Structure 1
């Protein structure tokens, strides 16, 4: 815009306030309506997903954004101040119902919201009134809750605390940090995570990958001859790094959650729709857990229960199975077909 003004040269007079709030605003509204009409044609051809995204502004108002996703892209429909209806299921249902009617019930395949109790009730009401659509909670949120539940397990919580102590000591002291970077080829243990719930599990993977380097560091002459090594905190740090039980627990947790971290990357990706990959990804998580710990059921059982609660009871829908079977990556794989024959009934229920 600035370049365009500069090209006009001296003497250009900007649009006045009245024109901006009147004619230009009205024209822009009409342009947006025309764009939504173009999207409507795509929704009729391919179907679409309605996404409900809530947030709280600086004045503590609860706002709900309604968006529609299709292969053409994501279209923003409207934003509503729902502060007065958030806890009233009927009023919230009416808001969502109006959006479904605007988009066209015959065009809506999927409605996605968060999984608080009000939205669960609304999802059931929508499925009851509009038989062609499916409701489900956000996959990212459900996977995050799996990590949150796993983090509350006693052995996991204890191991996370020990790992946190190691990280804090290293990153809060210059000499240990310099020495650590030297032993791990100037790489970092701390790595970015897609969401806050998985941060500790990513850190645990990173620490475990540097186990030998960290042990070599605390037994090196450079460390033992330094003034830092004589401090009480340093001795506690060394004890943790040399604690075999801690590393064994790290290994178990990483083995059990590695596939689940991959699932989070799948559902959090902006490059491709996750619905065709989610069923198989969760199946792989369960399969990997059982395979790795088939002789130690007491270790894996709490993880499988969390998976069953969050996936089987909250997230999984026939739509996920249909997405799996219609995904070319799996559809023509005979081995996959044999493993998941029992899910054909879920596919046939989709209409």
Structure 2
């Protein structure tokens, strides 16, 4: 009660707007410079122009603005305290429905009684009409511009295989239905029938593509769908393709590094005392940073290991570790050997040089706000260029990695829709006119037109308009259209601008990125020997340190 009384007193001290001269009148008086003429006498100035009156009005106006700011500060403070107390996420203030809510409260004025529990839970829980209205606007856009069905499979705590079906269009994604596919999720024919059901439900004429993961049954079902529906594409999920590519790199070329990192990480996090010791040496920093895909998480964890390398080495050579019971255990000794093993850190640098550009492409394509379809070609090319530069153009060091990338690209990632999106992206096309000489891209573009556009007359019309697009004629050449070329791209920030050629130097990571957290300089990799004389117990170090330059250029980074 005391708090309410104090708040009331604070607000009561602030003059009401009615007690202050009307602001519109003040502005009119300030702008009114005319003089009133009196017959037979000299002109008499309007009383509002009198210096004393003007000073008073300016003072009242300034006081009003200052008091208004005080009221807002008090109101926002109370609102924020409610958010903290209720544990509501901060991003609720970004919702489209938030601003109309505040405006409605403002229009009501003082004395509004807060909504009751019953009102919120029962009386006003009538969202069906609003939802149907929203869905109707989405459906109208789907019929006009086309849409995409997305099948997102996952496993719940009861080990059931559930598939969420969503429809994506110009206004965003809409959830359709969740299906329990535990009994047939690995059977191609069953998945084909299930996907066909949703094509008919959404409307075949409205469909552009269906996106699923890259499971073998989904690939087969996708091909069957394209045969049944001649104007529809099946497209594998790009994020899943890139995660599989990272898995190939880890398991085929860096299997031992991956196993050692898992062993060290598991050992530390399964022993609370060792975990506490690690946090003490790393400044309360953790080694694990989760991401939206499994191997992006693995990559990020290795990156954190690299950043904390000096602190981890200090920990396992410290008195505190030596005096602990863990240093006497066989597994503890093995973990210490790995941490102090030079090849472990050197191979980690190799992973970062290869994986860093690829995970940034993954971050770009995982954007949920804008479609990155037109940037997949360009981003993959730039990722490969970044890997090449990181190895000083020494093809021997990255040839096997490029073979894995090309294999995934040719089999799964290279799709006509991606090629067409690349050509029709104004930012990409007008910055590189050689695109129209790229056979792969042009073939994908014309294949897409032939498959998606019904009717030869319409296909011919689009082909003719492409010539205006290429030459930036008509609407494409207007100043407004030229300015918009770079404004309709996906959400680009400092962590992935390099993918579109916007940065000349290395990128800068920030703490809020989905995949990245700390910036590292791979060129500063230390070359010092292990001072404590540890050697791999399995006698199979990844690098022969005595003949490093001659025998192991693969890891000479």
TM bucket by the smaller chain?
0.7 to 0.9
In 1: Cα distance, 2:154 partner to 2:324 partner: 50
Partner of 1:137: 236
Task: Find the counterpart in structure 2 of residue 286 from structure 1.
Answer: 384
Q: What SS does the aligned partner of 2:284 have?
A: coil
Structure 2 residue 343 is matched with structure 1 residue 231: no
Inter-partner Cα distance in structure 1 for 2:165 and 2:371: 19
Q: Distance in 2 between matches of 1:34 and 1:174?
A: 53
Alpha-carbon distance in structure 2 between the residues aligned to 1:173 and 1:122: 46
Following superposition, the deviation at residue 41 of structure 1 comes to 0.8
Conserved? CA contact 1:52–1:67, under 8 Å: yes
The alignment's C-alpha RMSD in Å is: 3.7
Matched residue of 1:66: which SS? strand
Identify the range of structure 1 (276-285 vs 203-212) with the bigger mean alpha-carbon deviation: 276-285
| CA distance in 1: counterparts of 2:197 and 2:284, whole angstroms | 56
Q: 1:34 to 1:101 in 2, by over 3 A?
A: farther
Deviation, structure 1 residue 121? 2.5
Q: Which residue of 1 aligns with 2:406?
A: 308
Cα deviation for residue 152 of structure 1 reads: 1.6
Provide the residue aligned with 1:120 in structure 2.
Answer: 219
Look up the match of 1:42: 141
Distance apart, 1:156 and its partner CA: 1.4
- Contact preservation (8 Å) 1:69, 1:75: yes
Aligned to 1:69, what secondary structure does the other structure show?
Answer: strand
**Superposition pairs for residues 40-79 of structure 1, below 5 Å?**
40-55=139-154, 63-79=162-178
Q: Where do 5+ consecutive residues of structure 1 fail to align? A: 9-13, 16-23
Moved more, 88-97 or 130-139: 88-97
Task: Answer yes or no: is 1:295 the counterpart of 2:430.
Answer: no
- 2:57 corresponds to: none
Contact 1:66 1:76 in 2 (8 A): yes
Structure 2 segments unaligned to the other structure (5+ residues)? 1-113, 450-557
Aligned length: 332
Q: Deviations over 1:165-216 (max 9, x none)?
A: 3334444556654554454333222222222233222111111122233334
Q: 1:251 to 1:45 in 2, by over 3 A?
A: same
| Distance verdict in 2 for CA 1:223–1:280, change over 3 Å | farther
Do the aligned partners of 2:149 and 2:165 also contact (CA within 8 Å) in 1?
yes
- Could you tell me how far apart the structure 2 residues matched to 1:335 and 1:107 are? 32
- Contact 1:215–1:241 (CA<8 Å) still a contact in 2? yes
Q: CA deviation at 1:244?
A: 1.5
Aligned to 2:454: none
Deviates more, 1:63-72 or 1:222-231: 222-231
Normalising by structure 1, what TM-score? 0.77
| Cα distance, 1:175–1:60 mapped onto 2, change above 3 Å | closer
Specify the alignment match of 1:152 in structure 2: 251
* Secondary structure of 2:204's aligned partner: coil
Equivalent position SS for 1:115: coil
Cα pair 1:48 1:68 within 8 Å, conserved: yes
Q: Is contact 2:154-2:162 (8 Å) kept?
A: yes
Higher relative contact order (CA 8 A, sep 6+): 1
* CA gap 1:342/1:311 in 2 versus in 1, 3 angstroms: closer
Shift of 1:339: 9.8
For residues 4 and 117 of structure 1, what CA distance do their matches in structure 2 show? 53
